[in-house]
């Protein structure tokens, strides 16, 4: 059974700081890994999707890496802004039915 763990559960940083969110998964037989952002009371917004054959993906100030063999991914956020404050969720797709399994998320607060 796939399990996804995200560390830390919460993170508070001053504006402008670079930061890293961590995600680990127990079963390396995945198709892809997806990072989402969830704002309070809102739905999920897909940030980056990394296919299992890829090592990283970049979008603006965000960079996500994937090490499938070790079951780890990181989300790097450069020059953080207060608008980045949200919960960041990591999810992996696996199994014959392409099931998406989520971690419990990291609550990020960027202080002005």
Partner 1 sequence: DTAVSQTPKYLVTQMGNDKSIKCEQNLGHDTMYWYKQDSKKFLKIMFSYNNKELIINETVPNRFSPKSPDKAHLNLHINSLELGDSAVYFCASSQGVTGGPFEQYFGPGTRLTVT
Residues at the site binding partner 1, with contacts judged by CB under 8 A:
31-32, 34, 36, 41-46, 49, 51-52, 87, 89, 91, 93, 97-102, 104-105
Q: How far is the CB of 16 from partner 1 (least distance, A)?
A: 27
> 13 burial class (0-12, 13-18, 19+ CB within 10 angstroms)?
middle
- Reading the block at residue 21, the tokens are 């969110």
In whole angstroms, how close is the CB of 5 to partner 1 at the nearest point?
12
Least distance CB 18 / partner 1 (angstroms): 25
Query: Between residues 26 and 31, which has the closer beta carbon with respect to partner 1?
Result: 31
Secondary structure letter of residue 55 according to DSSP: S
Give the separation between CA 95 and CA 6, rounded to whole angstroms: 21
Q: Considering the complex, what minimum distance in angstroms separates the CB of residue 95 from partner 1?
A: 9
- The candidate with the shortest Cα–Cα distance to 64, out of 101, 81, 108, 72, is 72
Residue 82: φ, ψ to 5°: -55, -30
Nearer residue to partner 1 within complex by CB, 14 or 43: 43
Closer to partner 1 at the Cβ: 17 or 107? 107
């Amino acid at each position: 059974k796939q399990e996804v763990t995200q560390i830390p559960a919460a993170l508070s940083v001053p504006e402008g700081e670079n930061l890293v969110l961590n995600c680990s998964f127990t079963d390396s037989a995945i198709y892809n890994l997806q990072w989402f952002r969830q704002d309070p009371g809102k739905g999920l917004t897909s940030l980056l999707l990394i296919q299992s054959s890829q090592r990283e993906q970049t979008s603006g100030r965000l960079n996500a890496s994937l090490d499938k063999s070790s079951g780890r991914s990181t989300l790097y956020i450069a020059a953080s802004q207060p608008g980045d404050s949200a919960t960041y969720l990591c999810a992996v797709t696996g199994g014959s039915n392409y099931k998406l399994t989520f971690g419990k998320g990291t609550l990020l607060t960027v202080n002005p």
